[in-house]
Amino acid sequence: MNLRRLLIVIVPYAWLVGLFLIPFLIILKISLSDTAIAIPPYTPTLDLSAGWAGIKEFFSELDLENYYFLWTDSLYWKSFVSSITIATISTFLTLLVGFPIAYAMARAPSAWRPTLMMLVILPFWTSFLIRVYSWMGILSTNGFLNNFLMWTGLIDSPFHILNTPTAVYIGIVYTYLPFMILPIYSTLEKMDISLLEAAEDLGCTSRSAFWLVTVPLARYGIIAGCFLVFIPVNGEFVIPSLLGGSRINMIGKVLWDEFFNNRDWPVASAVAIILLLILVVPIVLFQRVQQKQEEATV
């Protein structure tokens, strides 16, 4: 019995150590290194054959110059601010669109709910990259949207949407909308409809009952959905690159350029460490919300 309990505890911790802690320490070590034209493209490297002297020399050559560089260069901190701003606005827009959909799904007849759920999940059956590329065709100057609006006579000349912040927000909301809908729907589905009837019997209108009963009961789903959107959007790379062009500068795009274009692994690693530290706060808050939600359902 004790062995089984030990295995239950060891497996998740081994998973975290192997897939999070060790990669994190490797990235942290690279972030404290210096750029070099070599393989690997950074120094120092640990030489265990030199014994304790080699280990001491290795640690003595590590420094914080890359973090100081990120602090002094406005490109990086502006990219962090831009990423957080875009993620915040995108989360709000996704909530604005996703909550009515989740509410409609929860109030739909039981026989329709599996079909509606499948329609929400259906985009995941297609490659994420293909879906983003399709938006490039829709939003381009000669794309489907402009051609349709000009055909209907609503506009005389095509809109310039692609390579603008609007295109980025459209792509993010479309991509991450299921992550907002599903936790809210999961919460609203369990809501007792008799609570709304009781509120209306006590004098509440349908609108006031919605704000006083439905929204508070759905708060855990709303918080979970917001975190599920906000956290990954901060590090988004594909959508701002394809739909935003050079005008949108998010930290995920900067991270990619440093790793693969500039081959400056130490600076890129420092960017990744700072991004992780920024996201630790919402991740911890998200875990606490999940824990409270689990305790409330018990």
For position 178, what pLDDT does the model report? 94
Task: Give the pLDDT band of residue 190 (cuts 50, 70, 90).
Answer: confident
Task: Give the pLDDT band of residue 296 (cuts 50, 70, 90).
Answer: low
Residue 173 lies in a domain: yes
Q: What is the DSSP letter of 74?
A: H
* pLDDT tens readout for residues 108-162: 888 898 899 999 998 888 888 889 989 998 988 888 888 888 888 888 888 888 8
CB under 8 Å to 40, separation ≥6 — which residues?
265
Total residue count of the chain as it appears in this document: 298
Residue 289 lies in a domain: yes
Query: Based on the structure, what is the number of domains in the chain?
Result: 1
Residue 262 lies in a domain: yes
Cα-atom radius of gyration of the chain, to the nearest Å? 24
Residue 267 lies in domain: 73-297
Give CA–CA dist 216/223, Å, rounded: 11
* pLDDT tens readout for residues 84-118: 999 999 999 999 999 999 999 998 888 898 899 99
Q: For the domain that residue 157 is a member of, what is the CATH number?
A: 1.10.3720.10
Residue 209 lies in a domain: yes
Residue 26 lies in a domain: no
For position 3, what pLDDT does the model report? 73
